[in-house]
Amino acid sequence: MPVSRVTHQSEPNSSFTRGDHAKVSLASKRNGKLRLMLQTLVQVSLFCLLAVICVQAEQYFDLPIPGSVIGLAIVLLLLLTKTIAEHRVSLGSAWLIAELLLFFIPPVVSVIKYQSLFENYGAQLMVMLVLGTVFVLVGTGFVVDRVFRFERRMNRQRAQALLASGMEG
């Protein structure tokens, strides 16, 4: 079956086949994926650089707060003050959250080195692990619930303010 020729509207002297349009479309999809991958890589690299800098600062100044918590506070502060837009860190943070399980493998594997510790204190360690997990889950749930309630209240106040300003005008 012969391929029909179609003249491209923006260039009257050029002609593209339907296959050429498919190639251009495929190339643009590939470039889009490559761009997203590069943006993700850059964002994750910047998160890692910030983490290294904060850990070094924590050690240098002998701070009682872990460097990772300092880094998290810095990112939160930058986001709250809108110094950094959320979309500037969303790809990297989404990738880190999606791959979070991989970061727990080394600590779990290193447990094998301390078998005698688990033989002697295994029950106590398990109780502490379960209690710690429960406390973290309950605390996180409480904070998330409060943030959602606050956000809902703020949205309601904004909507009421918009309605009130619309009625005045």
Q: Kindly report, residue by residue over 63-84, the tens digit of the pLDDT.
A: 999 999 999 999 999 999 999 9
pLDDT confidence band for 60 (50 / 70 / 90): very high
**DSSP code string of 108-149:** HHHGGGGHHHHHHHHHHHHHHHHHHHHHHHHHHHHHHHHHHH
Residue-number span of the structural domain to which 138 is assigned: 110-169
Average pLDDT over all residues of the chain: 84
pLDDT at 5: 45
Predicted TM-score (pTM) of this structure = 0.56
Residue 94 in domain:
no
Q: What percent helix, strand, coil does the chain show, rounded to 5?
A: 80, 5, 15
Note whether residue 21 is domain-resident.
Answer: no
Q: Kindly report, residue by residue over 139-148, the tens digit of the pLDDT.
A: 999 999 999 9
Q: State the pLDDT at residue 95.
A: 94
Q: What is the pLDDT of residues 82-112, one digit of tens each?
A: 999 999 999 999 999 889 888 877 777 777 7
- Considering the domain boundaries, does residue 152 fall inside one? yes
What pLDDT digit, counting tens, does each position of 12-31 carry?
Answer: 445 555 555 556 566 677 88
As for how many domains the chain has, the answer is 1
Q: What's residue 1's pLDDT?
A: 46
Cα separation of 34 and 142, whole Å? 39
* Segment holding 7, helix H or strand E: strand 5-7
